[in-house]
Amino acid sequence: MEEKKLGISEDWLSLWLGSFIFILSLFVFAGGDILGWGISTKEWKDVSKAMSPVSKSYVGVKGEITKIDGKKLTLKKADGKEEEITVTEDITTVKVGDTYEKKGVSGFMSLVMTYLFMLLVMTVGAAAMRANIGRFVIGFTIVFWISYGCWLVGHYAYIAATNAAKSGVPWSLKLTGEAGFIVALLAGLAVGNFFPKFAESLKEAIRPELYIKTAIVLMGGLLGVKAAESLGLATAVMFRGLCAIVEAYLIYWALVYFIARKYFKFSREWAAPLASGISICGVSAAIATGGAIRARPIVPIMVSSLVVIFAVIELIVLPFMAQTALWKEPLVAGAWMGLAVKTDGAAVASGAVTDALVRAKAMAMEGINYKDGWITMTATTVKLFIDIFIGVWAFILAYIWCAKIECKPGQKVGAGEIWNRFPKFVLGYAITFFLLLVICLPASKAVQPVEKEIGILKDEITMAEKQLPSATDPAALAALNEKIAASKEKVKGLSDQIKMPKKTIADAKTATSASNSFRVMFFVLTFFTIGVVSNFKKLWEEGIGKLAAVYVLCLFGFIIWIGLVISWIFFHGVKPPIVTG
């Protein structure tokens, strides 16, 4: 008899893994950018220039010194561009005109270090889950390198460039670098459907839910910084997201349950998990509902297999529909992904693709440069609220089933079920989000009004300087010069006043960009592994037709469209901040 392996769940593990990487990234506040070597991938024509460490402090730079200001050097690089660097060593011997070189980590080395770090962290996680370590290490290695290869391909200028001329290519698909996600998904689908033996050999490392949940924990911090800069908008997104899912639960579930029972003659045991799977949150909702009404395990398992397949179809189709129809309403598009696409992985992933596609289109059509991440944040917020409410919904169903429909022997309904079903990784997301919000909010509040004042003063200086050549009266000239000097002095004083809060925000951004480098890698792994687990042959299984029919009818018949209407009602007119300067 096989011994039952009892390890930590993927849900808890993602909380610990995400929190661990997040904590490492926070060392920036203590002066140590210890994750800055993480890989960052740029759009490329020459692949050797595609990769670099995410933090500037790890990037090597060489050039002619054009300016020396204390420990700051301005270098003119070979490409003619100037870059300011801060050095730590003694530079009293260098002078303007000298060539200076700062050694750094190469792009490929950064990738190798990212791989080794993730392998180490994930292997510890695999051990905690009591997975087969040998198979995991091999599987993860293959999954990592294929996924990264896809990510790199997606950044090829002919695929990614939103402005072909600027990128030096004659044409481009204009898909942005996030096309790498789609490439990874397609590669995963090819492996899962055409190379089943190979897919089986990777099984230990094919864990899309673990990867996406870890990514979501890491994303919390990033979004915390964004929220600190636009608190009103972030609060509105959260409250409206909550409203949207209350509506979705009440309308979606009831309609799907009714159609499955009335027109497809499914029994209650099948109809309830099916309604939750199609309408709410895919796999976890189907399992939670199956548990709540004491359905046999086969029911949610069968429903879940369909959920995964259709989520992939949605993931491929809906972001492009959103780009076409909703580029003027970016947050409607984000909420729509959260409400319509099932499973955490596919929903958040489609939010990320939509983020890139919609921003690129807004830029191309109207020159509006929306700040990145807000569409993903909206999709994620909506999806996380849905996740949180699964436990509540399962509890309500269990209570109704036991009290009014059929109470199975030994069935007890306790509020403890709400906690048992609560997705624990959401705690990690909430902690990382609020921690960085608390760190950055006072700093942001201190900086914003002062920067506004500095902006006004700088405008005044520019205006006064323009008047200088035409001022002939010595008294007027002196007054203008005095005004300019006073304004410059005031700007300096104000800049000094916000030095510390600005440093706090800069540190927070450095920390989150380092953790974001790993978040992106977890996203890519999610896309590839979602593809691998999506076995379309399941659709040919005998008997699946009736189940698939109700799924297709409900999902494409009204779930997607009701989701769109709800998203529109709560999010139309709500726009992400725009990049200025």
Partner 1 sequence: MAEEPKLAEELKKMEYEPLLPVEKKLISYSLILGTVLLGFLVWISYTFFPAGH
By CB under 8 A, name the binding residues for partner 1: 232-233, 235-237, 239-240, 243, 246-247, 250-251, 253-255, 257-258, 261-262, 265-270, 298-299, 302, 400, 404-405, 541-544, 546-547, 569-570, 573-575
Nearer to partner 1, 317 or 407 (CB): 407
Q: How far is the CB of 139 from partner 1 (least distance, A)?
A: 24
Nearer to partner 1, 168 or 232 (CB): 232
Q: With H, G, I as helix, E, B as strand and everything else as coil, classify residue 172.
A: coil
The CA distance from 416 to 395, in Å, is 9
Nearer to partner 1, 306 or 480 (CB): 306
The CA distance from 405 to 398, in Å, is 10
Q: How far is the CB of 20 from partner 1 (least distance, A)?
A: 34
The pair of structure tokens assigned to 96 is 């303007």
Nearer to partner 1, 222 or 259 (CB): 259
For the residues of 416-454, what is the DSSP string, one character each? HHHHHHS-THHHHHHHHHHHHHHHHHHHHHHHHHHHHHH
Instruction: State the number of CA atoms in the 13 A half-sphere of 365 facing the CB.
Output: 13
Closest alpha carbon to 383 in 356, 343, 436, 433? 343
Closest alpha carbon to 204 in 284, 283, 119? 119
Q: How far is the CB of 569 from partner 1 (least distance, A)?
A: 6
Q: How far is the CB of 379 from partner 1 (least distance, A)?
A: 17
Q: How far is the CB of 542 from partner 1 (least distance, A)?
A: 4
Closest alpha carbon to 440 in 381, 507, 514? 507
Q: How far is the CB of 234 from partner 1 (least distance, A)?
A: 9
Nearer to partner 1, 450 or 565 (CB): 565
Nearer to partner 1, 121 or 236 (CB): 236
Nearer to partner 1, 109 or 236 (CB): 236
Consecutive H or E run containing 392: helix 374-400
The CA distance from 509 to 26, in Å, is 10
The CA distance from 436 to 19, in Å, is 13
Backbone angles phi, psi at 98, to 5 degrees: -70, 160
Nearer to partner 1, 199 or 248 (CB): 248
The CA distance from 156 to 45, in Å, is 6
The pair of structure tokens assigned to 82 is 């100037």
Q: How far is the CB of 572 from partner 1 (least distance, A)?
A: 8
The CA distance from 198 to 196, in Å, is 5
Nearer to partner 1, 206 or 397 (CB): 397
Q: How far is the CB of 177 from partner 1 (least distance, A)?
A: 28
Residue indicated by tokens 């990510």: 151
Q: How far is the CB of 253 from partner 1 (least distance, A)?
A: 7
Q: How far is the CB of 571 from partner 1 (least distance, A)?
A: 9
The identity of residue 471, as a single letter, is A
Nearer to partner 1, 269 or 460 (CB): 269
Q: How far is the CB of 292 from partner 1 (least distance, A)?
A: 13
Closest alpha carbon to 564 in 278, 271, 321, 213? 321
Q: How far is the CB of 266 from partner 1 (least distance, A)?
A: 7
According to DSSP, residue 52 is labeled E
The CA distance from 268 to 236, in Å, is 38
Residue indicated by tokens 């072909």: 164
* Helix, strand, coil % over all residues of the chain, rounded to 5: 70, 5, 20
Q: With H, G, I as helix, E, B as strand and everything else as coil, classify residue 400.
A: helix
Per-residue CA distances from 349 to 100, 177, 248 (Å):
42, 14, 20
Nearer to partner 1, 32 or 577 (CB): 577
Structural contact between residues 71 and 88, judged by C-beta atoms closer than 8 angstroms = yes
The strand pairing partners of 61, in sequence order, are 102
What phi-psi label fits residue 370: left (phi over 0), alpha (psi between -120 and 50 degrees) or beta?
A: beta
Per-residue CA distances from 453 to 448, 489, 579, 581 (Å):
9, 13, 19, 16
Consecutive H or E run containing 152: helix 133-154
Nearer to partner 1, 3 or 69 (CB): 3
The pair of structure tokens assigned to 48 is 């050797």
Nearer to partner 1, 395 or 570 (CB): 570
The CA distance from 506 to 579, in Å, is 17
Q: How far is the CB of 420 from partner 1 (least distance, A)?
A: 23
C-alpha dihedral sign at 512, 356, 159, 147: positive
Q: How far is the CB of 298 from partner 1 (least distance, A)?
A: 5
Nearer to partner 1, 194 or 540 (CB): 540
